[in-house]
Structure 1
Amino acid sequence: MSLLRRPRWWAVLLTLAGVLLFLRLGAWQLHRADEKEALLRRYAAAEQGPVREFAAVGETPPADAFPRVRVAGEFLPGRTYLLDNPKHDQRGGVEVYAPFRPDGKERLLLVDLGFLPGNGTDQSPQLPPLPEGRKELTGFYQPAPGVGFEMGGDALARQAHWPKTTVYLDLDQVSKDLGTSLYPRVLALEPDASSIYVREHTPDFSAMPPARHRAYAFQWFTFAAVAVVMFLFLHRKRKATSGDAQ
């Protein structure tokens, strides 16, 4: 004999939709945790990896690694871009990027010089001049910062003076602004104690570390289990009492 009353169709549909939604959200949180852990492992492996020649990976970088590379060439004088949304300094500041021409190449490489802390005001920090002449750089060849929803279109095209400021670093927009093609990744220079720039290139997941994603996944899976338990509880058959029989 069944222990449940026959449920209404809308109750089944509502419960099923809720359970599927909660399971989907939980799975997505687990996926995000795995993605972030994989990204942290790539950065850790890059720090311990050997230095490679830029020419070997510049055009076709490995999809699952951020190699340490060495490249020689010259900076384009007076051309700098300021990314003004870094999150690792509460006083404000900018991440500074500059185009670099490798020896014998027409294509430009965008170099992440590092983070320049602010001075507690709304004004941009004072930039030191770019190094002149031929330089040899060593750093991590990694993807550019992600591009979010940018309101107002291409901010670089509306600026006539350097340095140019943006809240999203879009390599296509930078390429268009410079009038030449760019390599598909940026070169994040290695830390240098003598440099004015702060160079911390590992992603900051302090606000949402992998462990927190897994905690949220457990929460969503719990909601799915609660939805099933509530459905069974509300549709259980109640025992007939003596008053019901009369």
Structure 2
Amino acid sequence: MSGFRRPSWWALLLTAAGALLFVRLGVWQLHRADFKEALLRRYAASADAPLQDFARVAETPPPDGFPRVRVRGRYLADRLYLLDNPKHDSFGGVEAFVPLAVDGQTRLLLVDLGFLPGNGNGKTPQLPPLPGGEVSLQGVYVPPPPPGFEMGGNALARQTQWPKNSIFLDPVEIAHDLGRPLYPRLLALDPDPASIYVRVHTLDFSAMPPARHRAYAFQWFTFALAAVVILLVVHRKRPPRKP
């Protein structure tokens, strides 16, 4: 190390602290990527899991699990909510949600009926009628999609006709709109070849998928390496200038 000057204590301290911080952030990003991939695997496995009674998991679902449940109730068929143009295809369309009055319960269960493809003209697709009597449903009990920022505030409160449209699904706004509390999760119905709805459900990690976490981890590790390289470059001995 004869080619380097001895760095001061504060230069060593700052470099070590910065490098350790960057490494820690990189490791955290790797952990987040592994956590989300594990969630996606468990979600995929839930499609073939045995059915459970909804009452067992209704109020306190497992925080990192997705139980497949069976539930009975009646649709509030005149209270449909349409999530406008989710990312299913290039022709647009809507994801349809309807509250279900569970037998003997005050809370309503929001049911994801599935995706109704559009025809490319920008108009809302024709919604098939829902059964009016008691129904038995089965599907995966999943968290609601992440809320987003909606310009102009609550769009549901300004609408007077049903179905109501929104670009984000906010359970708090829907509960306020219905005047009744909702269960903490929603029911994503099992696929049905006889249904007009397309039911391809997945966890929404579009904003931060596991691959992006790994890219950020690589970035943080690069910063840690850069901090050490900068310390070496700054303290490299320079040859004396020629007179």
Q: TM-score range by the shorter chain?
A: 0.7 to 0.9
Which residue is 2:64 aligned to? 64
Which residue is 2:5 aligned to? 4
Say which SS state the counterpart of residue 82 (structure 1) adopts.
strand
Say which SS state the counterpart of residue 217 (structure 2) adopts.
helix
Which residue is 2:224 aligned to? 224
After superposing the two structures, state which structure 1 stretch, 19-28 or 225-234, moved more. 19-28
Structure 2 residue 134 is the aligned partner of structure 1 residue 130: no
Give the TM-score normalised by the residue count of structure 2.
0.87
The whole-number CA distance in structure 1 between the counterparts of 2:153 and 2:46 is 34
Structure 2 residue 34 is the aligned partner of structure 1 residue 34: yes
The whole-number CA distance in structure 2 between the counterparts of 1:96 and 1:65 is 24
Structure 2's unaligned 5+ residue stretches are none
CA spacing shift, 1:20–1:124, aligned 2, 3 Å: farther
CA drift at 1:203: 2.7
Which residue is 2:120 aligned to? 120
Structure 1's unaligned 5+ residue stretches are none
Q: After the TM superposition, which segments of 4 or more aligned residues of structure 1 sit over 3 Å from their partners? A: 5-9, 11-25, 204-209
After superposing the two structures, state which structure 1 stretch, 81-90 or 200-209, moved more. 200-209
The whole-number CA distance in structure 2 between the counterparts of 1:149 and 1:8 is 47
Taking the TM superposition and a 5 Å limit, the aligned residue runs for 1:1-246 are: 3-4=4-5, 6=7, 19=19, 22-23=22-23, 25-203=25-203, 209-240=209-240, 243=242
Say which SS state the counterpart of residue 30 (structure 1) adopts.
helix
Q: How many residues align?
A: 242
Does the 8 Å CA contact 2:145/2:204 hold for their aligned counterparts? no
Cα-to-partner distance string for 1:131-178 (whole Å, 9 max, x where unaligned): 221110000011111112233221111110000111221111111111
Counterpart of 1:4, as a letter, is R
Say which SS state the counterpart of residue 47 (structure 2) adopts.
helix
Does the 8 Å CA contact 1:78/1:130 hold for their aligned counterparts? no
Counterpart of 1:154, as a letter, is N
Note the aligned Cα RMSD (angstroms).
2.7
State the identity as a percent: 65
CA drift at 1:211: 3.7
Counterpart of 1:186, as a letter, is L
CA drift at 1:67: 0.4
Give the TM-score normalised by the residue count of structure 1.
0.86
Counterpart of 1:128, as a letter, is P
